[in-house]
Amino acid sequence: MKKSLKTISVLLLALATSVHAGQSEYDDCILKHLKGAKLDVTASLIKQACEENYRNPSFTSAKRRAYNGCLLEHLSGIESIQATMEIRSACSRKHN
């Protein structure tokens, strides 16, 4: 019984450490990419990309992570809704 409690404690500690690391990476993504966001729709896409790639990476496919990376690379600083949608479409075509 003591051995199983120790195992559970180790697993919970590992999970907590992993969640904290994911939160830190998510925060870094937000700080890096949202500072140049000019439009709410762009900010929303950036936030979603950061969440999928850094908060829930195990639930995100490699194609989706690549798509999100494309958005993060190209959306910051865009001042046009049309340009935002074109970038979103181009990233989708490129990574799907």
Reported as a single tens digit per residue, the pLDDT across 55-81 is 988 899 999 999 999 999 999 999 999
pLDDT tens-digit map of 4-33: 656 665 554 444 444 555 789 999 999 999
59 within a domain of the structure (yes/no) = yes
**pLDDT value at residue 12:** 47
pLDDT given for residue 17 in this prediction: 46
Q: Does 73 reside within a domain?
A: yes
Work out how many domains the chain is built from and give that number: 1
Q: Is residue 53 part of a domain?
A: yes
55 lies in which domain range?
24-95
Tell me, yes or no, whether 31 lies in a domain: yes
Using DSSP, state whether 52 is helix, strand or coil. helix
Looking at the domain assignment, is residue 16 inside a domain? no
CB count within 10 Å of CB 43 equals 17
CA geometry: angle 13, 16, 20, nearest 5 deg: 140
In a domain, 17, yes or no: no
Identify whether 2 is part of a domain.
no
Does residue 34 sit within a domain?
yes
